[in-house]
Amino acid sequence: MFNTIFATVLLTLCGAQQRRKNVLFFVADDLRPNLGAYSGHHAPSPSDPAMYTPNIDHLAQSSLVLQRSYVAQAICSPSRTSVLTGRRPDTTRVWDLKHYWRLVGGNFTTIPQYFKENGYRTVGMGKIFHPGKHASGNNDPISWTDPYFLGEDDYSKNRLLWQAVTEAEERQTPLLDTQIADFALKTLNEVAPKAKSGEQPFFVAVGFHKPHTPWNYPERFEKYYPLDSLELPDNYFSPVGMPAFAWHNFSRLNTYKNVEPYHLHDVGAINYTFPKNLTLLMRRAYYSSVSFTDYNVGRVLQELDDLGLANDTIVSFWGDHGYQLGEHCEWQKETVFELATRAPMMVKVPGVTDSGMVTSQLVEFVDLFPTLVDLAGLPEMKLCPENSSQILLCTEGKSFVPLFTNPNITGWKNATFSQFPHGRNGRNGLDVMGYSIRTDRYRYTEWATFKPHLKPEWNKLHGIELYDHGIDPEENRNWAQEPSYANLRSQLSKQLRAGWRYVNV
Ligand SMILES: *[C@@H]1O[C@H](CO)[C@@H](O)[C@H](O)[C@H]1NC(C)=O
Ligand SMILES: *[C@@H]1O[C@H](CO)[C@@H](O)[C@H](O)[C@H]1NC(C)=O
Ligand SMILES: *[C@@H]1O[C@H](CO)[C@@H](O)[C@H](O)[C@H]1NC(C)=O
Ligand SMILES: *[C@@H]1O[C@H](CO)[C@@H](O)[C@H](O)[C@H]1NC(C)=O
Ligand SMILES: *[C@@H]1O[C@H](CO)[C@@H](O)[C@H](O)[C@H]1NC(C)=O
Ligand SMILES: *[C@@H]1O[C@H](CO)[C@@H](O)[C@H](O)[C@H]1NC(C)=O
Ligand SMILES: *[C@@H]1O[C@H](CO)[C@@H](O)[C@H](O)[C@H]1NC(C)=O
Ligand SMILES: *[C@@H]1O[C@H](CO)[C@@H](O)[C@H](O)[C@H]1NC(C)=O
């Protein structure tokens, strides 16, 4: 059945003309679905304000919007490595920011690399891979046909957790994401002639750094989020019955200069709350940074349009994972809660999604690679075997091309898989791995011994969580020990341990 649907979409895509579609590939850092396109009960939290994100919302109106898409591991390098190689952290063996999959997992082909091997000009800028030699051999040179563009960050050196930058300051020292958007415009102009003549299509990847900390953004975006209109999270407490391993210690936030005057103690502890004044300032800074990212995405999309390329270019947009803004008393990512694992994703396919499509099917970020390959008509990717360390090209995801024909298709994935490691005594490390599934209604997590074998020992558990989204969409209460949930708990445990291959129907 999928093959027929697949053929229909491909026909729409490639049938009319031989020319291959270009790809414009956006990534935003630490962006939870705080976008107009994910408002109402799709917003991350009921205490979020209305978001000012007109450009991404406009993109959403001509895209397939994935309302329930989940990352493999809620931190930059493991998540990005998983998306970009189409494999999961236990295969890439990237669970932290210090390892490069080509050295520890296998010499796996990436999305841009595969487009490059198929004749595309591939240009990357900003943050696509996690930067640095250790995480990506400095932005994975194999992936690109052109030199990589990073830009200069002169603001982060200030060690200010938030900074509203005036117009005069920006004129003198452009923000990093402004430089990246400028470079994207320049790049599009450079790749346009050959793309339009049909000589060489492009894959241009634009990675913005905001809304990652430190939150520096043009001052003008604050006006959309007046402090007196913002709210504290309505669940400014840690989940009832939460095991300690589920917790991420965010004490790093207390190392910024503008947090010092508050003289805080115990920052990062379970049930720790920042004072209200500081909480609201941090929330405003995050939301303002999101609007700044929206502005930058808008500039690039406008140029694509002005160059007459929009009808021949597939556009994908995603955030590398979610974020906690005080909900559960938690901050940053680095958990397996819904807020950290769910992130926005949308894909625009000209001629297919022009009037906008929305799906609430469960989708995993590892599915993006095979999807883009299908949409561009590149040779299809095969499912990876159990041990794929020697296989350069395969995927542990599943193309969601069928959702472009029927976003309400039945028999789709019935669970998504995410994970996060923790050290003992509240430290970082691989001692224990939290494996988590999200089904239509539940989130279920087991914290299993991981070291020394670097695989889960299911008979050595350090905590179990079961959240019932049917009655508790914010995951405020862990029902794992509740007798009435015992049957459900053992079913979910079976499904979790069986793994992703058994739901990938
Ligand atoms: C990795 O694969 C690429 C081609 O996909 C090849 O050019 C490169 O030499 C390989 N690297 C190693 C270390 O095998
Ligand atoms: C955190 O606060 C909640 C709500 O008051 C409480 O139920 C929970 O037990 C607390 N957690 C810990 C570990 O103290
Ligand atoms: C959080 O981490 C900081 C820095 O490592 C540490 O000093 C603090 O004790 C930790 N807090 C808890 C509750 O573990
Ligand atoms: C923040 O609010 C607290 C009271 O909760 C107050 O003591 C403190 O002075 C305020 N700090 C600033 C920097 O406004
Ligand atoms: C792009 O496609 C739309 C919808 O098919 C069409 O209305 C528009 O004229 C096209 N624009 C260009 C520049 O071809
Ligand atoms: C996968 O295969 C490689 C070589 O074929 C081997 O070195 C490695 O140990 C295997 N990994 C697992 C987890 O079995
Ligand atoms: C999918 O289902 C939703 C809700 O039931 C409905 O509003 C929408 O029109 C359906 N979409 C398609 C393309 O069938
Ligand atoms: C998901 O599908 C698998 C395979 O068909 C099945 O074994 C499992 O019970 C299903 N789980 C849920 C939560 O529906």
pLDDT of residue 17 exceeding 80? no
Q: What average pLDDT score do residues 474-496 get?
A: 98
pLDDT of residue 5 exceeding 50? no
Which ligand is nearest to the Cα of residue 277, counting in written order? Answer: 4
The answer, yes or no, to whether any atom of ligand 4 lies below 6 A from the CB of 273, is no
* CA distances for 9 relative to 59, 303, 408, 422, 500, angstroms: 20, 27, 16, 43, 26
Distance from CA of residue 6 to its chain's centroid? Answer: 25
- Identify the pLDDT of residue 91: 98
pLDDT of residue 7 exceeding 60? no
The closest residue, in CA terms, to atom 7 on ligand 2 is: 240
pLDDT of residue 6 exceeding 90? no
Pairing assessment for the beta strands 215-218 and 162-165 based on DSSP bridges: parallel
The answer, yes or no, to whether any atom of ligand 3 lies below 6 A from the CB of 269, is yes
Task: Give the Cα separation of 361 and 67 in Å (integer).
Answer: 8
Q: What average pLDDT score do residues 269-288 get?
A: 98
Pairing assessment for the beta strands 416-422 and 432-438 based on DSSP bridges: antiparallel
- Identify the pLDDT of residue 310: 98
Of the two residues 425 and 295, the one the predictor is more confident about is 295
Q: What average pLDDT score do residues 442-455 get?
A: 98
The CA 114 to ligand 1 mean position distance, Å, reads 13
Residue 446: phi and psi, rounded to 5, are: -125, 135
Q: What average pLDDT score do residues 147-167 get?
A: 97
- Identify the pLDDT of residue 1: 39
Enzyme catalytic residues: 76, 130
Cα end-to-end distance, the chain, whole Å:
12
The closest residue, in CA terms, to atom 8 on ligand 2 is: 240
For residue 351 the two structure tokens come to 């001629």
pLDDT-based confidence at 425, cuts 50/70/90?
confident
Q: Is 428 helix (H, G, I), strand (E, B) or coil?
A: coil
Which ligand is nearest to the Cα of residue 389, counting in written order? Answer: 6
The closest residue, in CA terms, to atom 11 on ligand 8 is: 414
* Residues pairing with 70 in the sheet: 342, 364
The Cα angle at residue 359 between residues 355 and 363, in degrees rounded to 5: 135
- Interhelix angle 176-197/276-306, rounded to 10 degrees, is 20
Residue 26: phi and psi, rounded to 5, are: -100, 145
Task: Give the Cα separation of 410 and 143 in Å (integer).
Answer: 36
Pocket probe for ligand 6: among 387, 396, 453, the residue whose CB has the most ligand atoms within 8 Å is: 387
The answer, yes or no, to whether any atom of ligand 8 lies below 6 A from the CB of 414, is yes
Task: Give the Cα separation of 65 and 407 in Å (integer).
Answer: 10
Which of 63, 72, 79 has its CA nearest to residue 29? 79
pLDDT-based confidence at 3, cuts 50/70/90?
very low
Question: Amino acid identity of 404?
Answer: F
The atom of ligand 2 lying closest to the CA of 237 is: 2
The CA 428 to ligand 3 mean position distance, Å, reads 11
- Identify the pLDDT of residue 427: 85
What pLDDT digit, counting tens, does each position of 295-321 carry? 999 999 999 999 999 999 999 999 999
Contact 309, 198 (CB under 8 A): no
The answer, yes or no, to whether any atom of ligand 8 lies below 6 A from the CB of 504, is no
- Percent of the chain clearing pLDDT 90 (strictly above): 95
The CA 8 to ligand 5 mean position distance, Å, reads 21
Which ligand is nearest to the Cα of residue 246, counting in written order? Answer: 2
State which H helix or E strand residue 124 sits in. strand 121-126
Compute how many other C-beta atoms are within 10 angstroms of the C-beta atom of residue 30: 26
Return the DSSP state at 145: S
For residue 112 the two structure tokens come to 């841009």
Residue-range domains of the chain with CATH? 4-405 (3.40.720.10), 416-503 (3.30.1120.10)
Residue 383: phi and psi, rounded to 5, are: -70, 135
What pLDDT digit, counting tens, does each position of 69-92 carry? 999 999 999 999 999 999 999 999
The CA 157 to ligand 3 mean position distance, Å, reads 24
- Identify the pLDDT of residue 298: 99
Average per-residue pLDDT for the chain: 96
- Identify the pLDDT of residue 19: 81
Pocket probe for ligand 2: among 234, 236, 240, the residue whose CB has the most ligand atoms within 8 Å is: 240
What count of residues does the chain have? 505
Task: Give the Cα separation of 297 and 325 in Å (integer).
Answer: 23
Compute how many other C-beta atoms are within 10 angstroms of the C-beta atom of residue 307: 17
Question: Amino acid identity of 332?
Answer: Q
Of the two residues 491 and 15, the one the predictor is more confident about is 491
For residue 421 the two structure tokens come to 């490691």
pLDDT-based confidence at 426, cuts 50/70/90?
confident
Which of 320, 297, 288, 151 has its CA nearest to residue 215? 288
pLDDT of residue 54 exceeding 90? yes
* Residues pairing with 240 in the sheet: 477
pLDDT of residue 9 exceeding 80? no
pTM for this one?
Answer: 0.96
Q: Is 417 helix (H, G, I), strand (E, B) or coil?
A: strand
Task: Give the Cα separation of 321 and 416 in Å (integer).
Answer: 14
- Identify the pLDDT of residue 381: 98
Task: Give the Cα separation of 83 and 88 in Å (integer).
Answer: 8
